[in-house]
């Protein structure tokens, strides 16, 4: 049933793997895709991933820096997989604890783990228990404890209220008994558990021997289901703050000094000191604060939650150093994740690419898109200036044929740029020209003509300005997708304001979706990069940078920081992260 199972170190060394019988395809591709698009990109909040026909589930072991991945056909619903992967993790850790601790995973020789038999045993157990579970639900009414109850006991425990109701239910139950239909018993069972609580046996109410979550050590399947229904809500997890006080005054002093530096968000000291492995509960309150902090910095709410989940997954089980607190550990992990997200995954070197296009005697084409008023035209002009300063010639294609004044706005920029770089200094040739056909015409057609013109006239770069459009406007989105599909620009830049909050996600998702839906090829052209504008107006609320890069996985190529030609920057990821972390 399983296609494969593999255990590898975070450094990428495969420690052990299993391939299902009859599975011929290598699992390297899917696992690499998982690593590339989930684990390396801080998207590990969720523990499943699909790759073509395969479903992959994974688990991070942060203490030993291991990753467990199982793959199976997407069409199968294997209910036992989550538990199975947990079991394998625990078993593998238990069995090789010493090796993992002493040598460190990296030093171990590849595939040196004799784990096949254990794996097969655990797999068999998991499959059998999943079968058994499905049998358990098929229990008939007579077999159930409920059938042992008398109507009287039901009425008594209700304290005399609703005497009629249970009686009515009873009638229904007798009908069911005749049908032997097991399904509708569930809600009734629940009710029955309540009666148990009020019943004569006080043993039922004694939870002292049970775990915090209501489960009982060594309890069987039925018992577990039973307890689930009775013991609600589970007892609260005790707050974790004791060790700070219990250790020596010196440590308390150290920590409180450190905490001062964290400021509001991380100032809370619910953390622990000492070597212990982190649990989700330890982190919960810090994570919640962190989420709120990110939202306050203008990171989209969804993304904040996903990031916090990812950080939690990354830290769960990690053993903390002696002098660390939960807050500082979480803070560090978040900081690393943010840097990772902002770090470009792909090189965008426009100047180099323009030179390459030059050598092929064709213009390099960049299309700008985005919603209304975000600064497409203004930043297009700034980019023109930057290209001209770098010795290239630019043709601006006025494809915003919709907004009144759009063409004149570009004309003004063209004049100004030409006066800054007069043709006399460039062999009598204007460094920038405008290609325009007025208003109301088909933008895709104008772009195409402009590109052909640029090729003939040997312009180095064509910058295509487009009309702003709301992401929900289907006809306009289709038109944009067509413009891109027909003209195949070298670069599609999405222009977005740094002021945008939750809206950023919706904009980018829908722009990308439209490009994908209307693409004419198998590999659709999506957004390749982002121009983040109005960065000068947001103080330290720099969250949009995170939302946009997280959603697209694409780099922020330019940052607009004002309204003059010089106000164009590249993103300083470290500075953005430190602004984000600042309380």
Ligand X SMILES: Nc1nc2c(ncn2[C@@H]2O[C@H](COP(=O)(O)OP(=O)(O)O)[C@@H](O)[C@H]2O)c(=O)[nH]1
Name the residues that contact ligand X, by CB under 6 A: 370, 372-379, 468, 533-534, 536-537, 560-563, 567
Site for Mg ion contains 466 (CB under 5 A):
no
From the CB of 417, what's the least distance to Mg ion, in Å? 16
Q: Which does 372 bind (CB under 5 to 8 A by kind): Mg ion, ligand X, none?
A: ligand X
From the CB of 489, what's the least distance to Mg ion, in Å? 17
From the CB of 435, what's the least distance to Mg ion, in Å? 15
Distance CA 287, CA 310 (A): 10
From the CB of 562, what's the least distance to ligand X, in Å? 5
Neighbours of 354 (CB within 10 A): 21
From the CB of 463, what's the least distance to ligand X, in Å? 12
Neighbours of 46 (CB within 10 A): 13
Closest by CA position to 57, among listed 72, 47, 46 = 47
Q: Which does 561 bind (CB under 5 to 8 A by kind): ligand X, Mg ion, none?
A: ligand X
Size of the site for Mg ion (CB under 5 A): 2
327, with CB counted inside 10 A (0-12, 13-18, 19+), is: buried
Closer to Mg ion by Cβ: residue 146 or 376: 376
Q: Which does 375 bind (CB under 5 to 8 A by kind): ligand X, Mg ion, none?
A: ligand X
**Can you read off the two tokens belonging to residue 379?**
């930043």
Closer to ligand X by Cβ: residue 71 or 375: 375
Q: Which does 373 bind (CB under 5 to 8 A by kind): ligand X, Mg ion, none?
A: ligand X
Binding residues among 351-380 for Mg ion as defined by CB under 5 A: 376-377
From the CB of 500, what's the least distance to ligand X, in Å? 13
Closer to ligand X by Cβ: residue 63 or 536: 536
Q: Which does 414 bind (CB under 5 to 8 A by kind): Mg ion, ligand X, none?
A: none
* Element (DSSP H or E) covering residue 368: strand 364-369
Closer to ligand X by Cβ: residue 30 or 560: 560
- If you write DSSP's letter for every residue of 456-488 in order, what string do you get? HTT-SEEEEEE----TT-HHHHHHHHHHHHHH-
From the CB of 445, what's the least distance to ligand X, in Å? 20
The long-range contacts involving 233-240, CB below 8 angstroms and separated by at least 24 positions, are: 237/212, 237/281, 239/270, 240/270, 240/271, 240/272, 240/281, 240/282, 240/326
Distance CA 78, CA 570 (A): 47
Q: Which does 337 bind (CB under 5 to 8 A by kind): Mg ion, ligand X, none?
A: none
Closer to ligand X by Cβ: residue 55 or 379: 379
Q: Which does 560 bind (CB under 5 to 8 A by kind): ligand X, Mg ion, none?
A: ligand X
Instruction: Evaluate whether 434 touches 394 at the Cβ level (below 8 Å).
Output: no
Distance CA 42, CA 12 (A): 16
From the CB of 398, what's the least distance to ligand X, in Å? 11
Query: Cα(first)–Cα(last) distance of the chain, in Å?
Result: 50
Residue 210 has what DSSP assignment? B
**Using CB atoms, what's the residue nearest to Mg ion?**
377
Q: Which residues bind Mg ion (CB under 5 A)?
A: 376-377
């Amino acid at each position: 049933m399983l296609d494969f199972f593999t255990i590898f170190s975070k450094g990428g060394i495969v420690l052990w793997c299993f391939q299902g019988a009859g599975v011929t395809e290598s699992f390297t591709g899917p696992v690499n895709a998982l690593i590339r698009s989930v684990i390396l990109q801080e998207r590990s909040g969720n523990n499943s991933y699909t790759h073509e026909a395969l479903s992959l589930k994974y688990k991070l072991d942060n203490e030993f820096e291991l990753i467990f991945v199982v793959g199976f056909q997407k069409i199968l619903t294997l209910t036992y997989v989550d538990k199975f992967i947990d079991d394998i993790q625990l078993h593998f850790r238990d069995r090789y604890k010493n090796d993992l601790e002493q040598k460190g995973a990296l030093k171990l020789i590849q595939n040196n783990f004799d784990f096949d038999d254990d794996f097969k045993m655990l797999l068999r157990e998991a499959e059998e228990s999943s079968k058994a579970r499905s049998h358990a639900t098929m229990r008939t009414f007579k077999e159930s404890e409920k059938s042992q109850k008398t109507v009287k006991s039901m009425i008594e425990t209700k304290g005399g209220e609703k005497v009629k109701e249970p009686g009515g239910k009873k009638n229904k139950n007798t009908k069911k008994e005749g049908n032997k239909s097991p399904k509708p018993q569930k809600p009734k069972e629940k009710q029955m558990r309540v009666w148990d609580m009020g019943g004569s046996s006080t043993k039922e109410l004694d939870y002292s021997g049970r775990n915090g979550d209501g489960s009982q050590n060594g309890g069987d399947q039925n018992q577990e289901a039973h307890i689930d229904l009775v013991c609600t809500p589970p007892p609260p997890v005790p707050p974790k703050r004791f060790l700070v006080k219990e250790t020596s005054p010196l440590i308390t002093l150290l920590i409180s000094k450190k905490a001062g530096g964290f400021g509001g968000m991380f100032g809370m000291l619910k953390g622990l000191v000492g070597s212990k492995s982190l649990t989700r509960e330890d982190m919960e309150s810090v994570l919640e604060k962190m989420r709120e902090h990110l939202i306050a910095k203008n990171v989209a709410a969804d993304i904040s939650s996903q990031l916090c989940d990812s950080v939690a997954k990354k830290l769960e089980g990690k053993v903390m150093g002696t002098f660390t607190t939960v807050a500082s550990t979480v803070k560090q992990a978040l900081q690393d994740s943010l840097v990772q997200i902002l770090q470009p995954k792909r090189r965008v070197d426009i100047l180099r690419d323009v030179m390459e296009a030059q050598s092929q005697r064709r213009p390099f084409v960049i299309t700008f898109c985005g919603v209304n008023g975000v600064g497409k035209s203004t930043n297009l002009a700034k980019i023109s200036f930057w290209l001209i300063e770098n010795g290239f010639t630019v043709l601006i294609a006025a494809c915003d044929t919709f907004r009144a004044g759009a063409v004149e706005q570009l004309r003004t920029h063209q004049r100004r740029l030409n006066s800054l770089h007069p043709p006399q200094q460039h062999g009598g040739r204007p460094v920038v020209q405008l290609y325009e056909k007025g208003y109301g015409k088909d933008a895709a057609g104008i772009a195409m003509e402009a590109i052909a013109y640029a090729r003939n006239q040997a312009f180095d770069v064509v910058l295509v300005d487009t009309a702003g459009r709301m992401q929900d406007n289907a006809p306009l989105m289709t038109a944009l997708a067509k413009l891109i599909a027909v003209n195949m620009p070298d670069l599609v830049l999405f222009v977005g304001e740094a002021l945008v909050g939750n809206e950023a996600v919706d904009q980018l998702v829908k722009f990308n979706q439209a490009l994908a839906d209307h693409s004419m090829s198998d590999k659709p052209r999506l957004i390749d990069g982002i121009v983040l504008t109005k960065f000068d107006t947001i103080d330290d609320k720099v969250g949009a940078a995170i939302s946009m890069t997280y959603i697209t996985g694409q780099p922020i190529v330019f940052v607009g920081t004002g309204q003059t030609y010089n106000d164009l920057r590249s993103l300083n990821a470290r500075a953005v992260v430190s602004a984000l972390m600042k309380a």
